[in-house]
Amino acid sequence: MIATSQIEQEIVDRFGHAVAFEETLDRIPTAWVTRDSVPALLRFLKEEVDQPYKMLYDLSAIDERMRQHRDGQPASDLTVVYHLLSFARNEYVRIKVALAEDRASLPTTTSIWPAANWYEREVWDMFGIAFDGHPNLRRILMPNSWVGHPLRKEHPARATEIGPYQLSPEKELAEQEALRFRPEEWGMSRERDSSDFIFLNLGPQHPGTHGVLRLALQLDGEEIVDVIPQIGFHHRGAEKMGERQSWHTYIPYTDRIDYLGGVMNNLAYLTAVEKLAGITVPPRAQVIRVMLAELFRIISHLVWYGTFAQDVGQMSPVFFTFNDRERAFSIIEAITGARMHPSWFRIGGVAADLPKGWEKMFRDFIDYLPPRLVEYDKTIMRNFIFKARTKGIGSFTVDEAVEWGVTGPNLRACGLDWDFRKRQPYCGYENFEFDIPTAQHGDCYDRAVVRIEEIRQSLRIIEQCVNNMPAGAYKSDHPLATPPVKERTMHDIETLITHFLSVTWGPVMPVGEALGAIEATKGNNGYYLVSDGSTVSYRTRIRTPSFAHIQTLAPLAQGLMIPDLVVILGSLDFVLADIDR
Amino acid sequence: MTSPHPILSILGVAIVALSIAAFLIWVERRLLALWQDRYGPNRVGPFGLLQVAADSIKIFMKEDWIPPFVDRPVFILAPAIVFVTVLMSFAVLPVAPGIIVSDLSVGLLFFLAMSSLGVYSVVLAGWSSNNKYALLGGLRAAAQMLSYEVFMGLSLMGVVLLAGTFSLPAIVEAQRTIWFVIPQFPGFVLFLIAGLAETRRIPFDLPEAESELVAGYHSEYSGMKFGMFFVGEYMGVSLISAMISVLFFGGWLGPVLPGVVWFFLKMFSFIAFFVLVRAALPRPRFDQLMSWGWKVMLPLALINLLATGAAVLAWR
């Protein structure tokens, strides 16, 4: 296929026939390149091209061996997919590399982006694709003793497809041995000059890690020499499940990715699904979605606010913010019937119309929260001990943040006013008035400042939703909207059949692929979906902000002390399920 | 007033101190709950008052578990030290005229000595546990409490200068005309801060630092050994509160009501203040705490002492 977009032309000018192009449903310029030209091309895109693609947004792979519809694509068993983001162009580019099964390796890009480190380990872990020259190519989500690569199509998806689990004494010993901590394997030395290091195991059960995160700390006294996170304890194979669940029944699984984000996850997933299906969501449904998503942004930020203060050693705020969150949940509950995981958005709209009296609940909340925030400013943000603990601790520059794939409030705290709601509006965000809060220093305190202001901005958006809620349908009448609008089901046979198929098998999405990315509570959450023209997704890739953020821990914490590490962890605002999926 | 039999007063003070400490557990939980928009323990007995009883039964019945990797004798000794030193300090505490176990002429020094000994408990607990978190907690405790001890003693010397004695009942009597909190306000503030540090409560709970060190120096303790640290902490709180009222607020002195009532009234207001501080403040970092201690508190205490000394000299 010929080059259609500007960047594709630039790639052709430079790399000529080594590149082929593909058109995708999300209209992201997509280029196929050969294995050996990957580093050169990526370096070209990051450093040489005008308006460069500074961020490695995502790196994943697709097992193509069972895929039936690959018209116009080069032959490939395993395809590695790079998503790059250019802030100057406000545009993504997708680079694909075709690999043969028996030669599943390609050169590493860790020298171009430090952030590639974990992504490449994940691709190795999940697909068995090796990256030559990677500094530490170990499994990342699965245990070291795991056999097989789970996202390969031949790997069983559920326990019933494999034999019962047996733990023989030999296996038990081997598993225990595999758990033994050897600093060398983690890339840490045991001593420096005249001092022996202490190795402190922080987590996976530790009050400061907000979940099952394990950190191996290399300490000189209480000073952190290095910190290496071990993740994967919360891995539940969400991407693999995407390959068995119908497009519709996968929605509840998304709620549990960023489990503080509730319907925000539905929104990210459905943005991608609706791009595949070509559904335009009716205005009322859009506004309802925005309203609930922003309420969940507030809910998530409130949890962060309280727990962050607790990480700094303040014991009361967590009770205050959780009480506020409870009020927000009572609204969510009245509308959706559930609290943390409503799974309430549907393909083409939302599950039901708003109940009677919803405006009053929102208005009460909009009046209730701002005075509370003023109080928290006094008790938390203006407390001098709090300031002494958070200012100048764990700071990024914009360039470093971009380099590490940091998005969301953490990126805005460095001074870059990049908000996907404004830059690449989705779901009708272009119709709302709100500001993008930013800060300057990118330290723990500034990250807090940005989030707190975001709560206020979200309230503004919600207020606009309440004041301007359009009338009309809450779900699209597109044939792929699921479950379909039911009004005419009992009146004509065509609608009845569509309805029946759509609720029993589920909708069949058109062949193609799409990335749907939104400004979620913690940063950019993207779903990259590949449809092979069936009732289930062929590949569901979930790009989460927390994964990128937690990888920055080592550079942020080196040279500081354990209390600072805990504060940095709190300020990054991650959720373990969002890291491990 | 004639003193009761020494054994009786020893028993009396010990029992009262212990029951106040136990009662404080309930008070603190209810007060914290009040300030944190929640209920706190309100199920066992009226207003949850019997929660303490239920907790004590539970903690006494727990398995007395000593991990195999600890330094056994020291591990067992450590919680006893905190308990004993705090109880010993109560011996010199004048509750009301004549109600005192032992009116030592060096009562104040005895109190300071005992609170210095209390540091050993935390350090030894952290050391003997053979646990890295406990060790870090113990190290922090040693550094923190040693540096805060220094100006704790100094902050009280102003009071001694004014009263001209180390005996606590005499110090109370010396406040008949004016409570020492007025001439010795800087000393009061410094002692309050040092007292918070001495009892290892927020914002000085670095040796425990739940969000960082899990439970710090007492990570490996359970059952009644943990209970000793726990109750010891509350006894420390009541001791410091009592000392503040004796040294700066005229102890039992006060109009109309009997002296004992005044004493407990003052003491409980400071206890409530301690709880309020815990509800309000975050925790500074270890090095910040040390630099505040040495660079701010110690010079202030010295200046206060110099100024008081000069004033006393000029006055007489």
Chain segment A510-569, per-residue pLDDT in tens = 998 899 899 999 989 999 999 988 889 999 999 999 999 998 888 888 888 888 888 898
Residues of A with CB below 8 A from B205's CB? 313
DSSP β-bridge partners for residue A19? A33
The distance from CA A570 to its chain's CA centroid, rounded to whole angstroms, is 18
Q: Is B132 on the interface with A (CB under 8 A)?
A: yes
Residues of A with CB below 8 A from B286's CB? 222, 561, 563
Q: Do B210 and A207 touch (CB under 8 A)?
A: yes
- The mean pLDDT of B135-158, rounded to a whole number, is 83
- The mean pLDDT of A127-132, rounded to a whole number, is 89
CA-nearest residue of chain A to B39? A319
Which pLDDT belongs to residue B209? 67
Q: How far is CA A576 from CA A234, A237, A258, A538, A573, in A?
A: 6, 13, 8, 25, 10
Distance from CA of A98 to the nearest CA of B (A): 46
From A309-313, A399-403, B216-220, the region with the lowest mean pLDDT: B216-220
Confidence of residue A3 (pLDDT cuts 50, 70, 90): low
- The mean pLDDT of A324-345, rounded to a whole number, is 91
Q: Is B62 on the interface with A (CB under 8 A)?
A: no
Question: Pick the residue with more confidence: A319 or B169?
Answer: A319
Contact B192, B244 (CB under 8 A): yes
Residues of B with CB below 8 A from A563's CB? 209, 212, 283, 285-286
Contact A217, A565 (CB under 8 A): yes
Distance from CA of B36 to the nearest CA of A (A): 6
Is residue B96 over pLDDT 90? no
**Cα–Cα distance, A446 to A449 (Å, whole number):** 5
- The mean pLDDT of B277-304, rounded to a whole number, is 86
Confidence of residue A1 (pLDDT cuts 50, 70, 90): low
Mean pLDDT over the full length of chain A: 87
Which pLDDT belongs to residue B1? 43
Which pLDDT belongs to residue A296? 92
Enclosing domain of residue B106 = 6-315
Domain assignment present for residue B218? The answer is yes
- The mean pLDDT of A489-507, rounded to a whole number, is 84
Q: What is the pLDDT of residues A154-196, one digit of tens each?
A: 888 888 888 888 889 998 998 888 888 888 777 777 777 777 7
Tokens of B45: 């007995």
Q: Is B182 on the interface with A (CB under 8 A)?
A: no
Q: Is B246 on the interface with A (CB under 8 A)?
A: no
Is residue B4 over pLDDT 70? no
Q: Do B37 and A320 touch (CB under 8 A)?
A: yes
What does the DSSP assignment read for A498-521?
A: HHHHHHHT---PPSEEEEEEEE-S
Which pLDDT belongs to residue B3? 56
- Specify the 3-state DSSP secondary structure of A238: helix
Confidence of residue A370 (pLDDT cuts 50, 70, 90): very high
Point out the residue among B36, B209, B286 whose CB comes nearest to the CB of A319: B36
- Count of A-B CB contacts under 8 Å: 80
Residues of A with CB below 8 A from B32's CB? 315-316
Tokens of A175: 């598993």
Domains: count for chain B: 1
Domain assignment present for residue B118? The answer is yes
Domain assignment present for residue B217? The answer is yes
Distance from CA of A410 to the nearest CA of B (A): 22
**Cα–Cα distance, B77 to B71 (Å, whole number):** 10
Which pLDDT belongs to residue B160? 85
Domain assignment present for residue B222? The answer is yes
Pairing, β A91-99 against β A30-33: parallel
Is residue B165 over pLDDT 50? yes
Q: Is B43 on the interface with A (CB under 8 A)?
A: no
Confidence of residue A374 (pLDDT cuts 50, 70, 90): very high
Confidence of residue A462 (pLDDT cuts 50, 70, 90): very high
Contact B296, B178 (CB under 8 A): no
Distance from CA of A260 to the nearest CA of B (A): 20
Residues of A with CB below 8 A from B142's CB? none
Domain assignment present for residue B1? The answer is no
Q: Do B283 and A389 touch (CB under 8 A)?
A: yes
Q: Do A313 and B278 touch (CB under 8 A)?
A: no
Which pLDDT belongs to residue B106? 82
Which pLDDT belongs to residue A540? 92
Q: Is B201 on the interface with A (CB under 8 A)?
A: no
When scoring B39, B210, B285, B295 by the number of chain A Cβ atoms within 10 A, the one with the most, hence best to mutate, is B285
Q: How far apart are the first and last CA of chain B?
A: 32
From A56-70, A98-112, B101-115, B230-244, the region with the lowest mean pLDDT: B101-115
Q: Do A316 and B288 touch (CB under 8 A)?
A: no
Structural domains of chain A, with CATH? 6-116 (3.30.460.80), 238-544 (1.10.645.10)
Q: Do B37 and A309 touch (CB under 8 A)?
A: no
Confidence of residue B297 (pLDDT cuts 50, 70, 90): confident
Point out the residue among A200, A312, A386 whose CB comes nearest to the CB of B132: A200
Q: Is B63 on the interface with A (CB under 8 A)?
A: no
Q: What is the pLDDT of residues B226-263, one digit of tens each?
A: 888 888 888 888 888 988 988 888 878 778 777 788 88
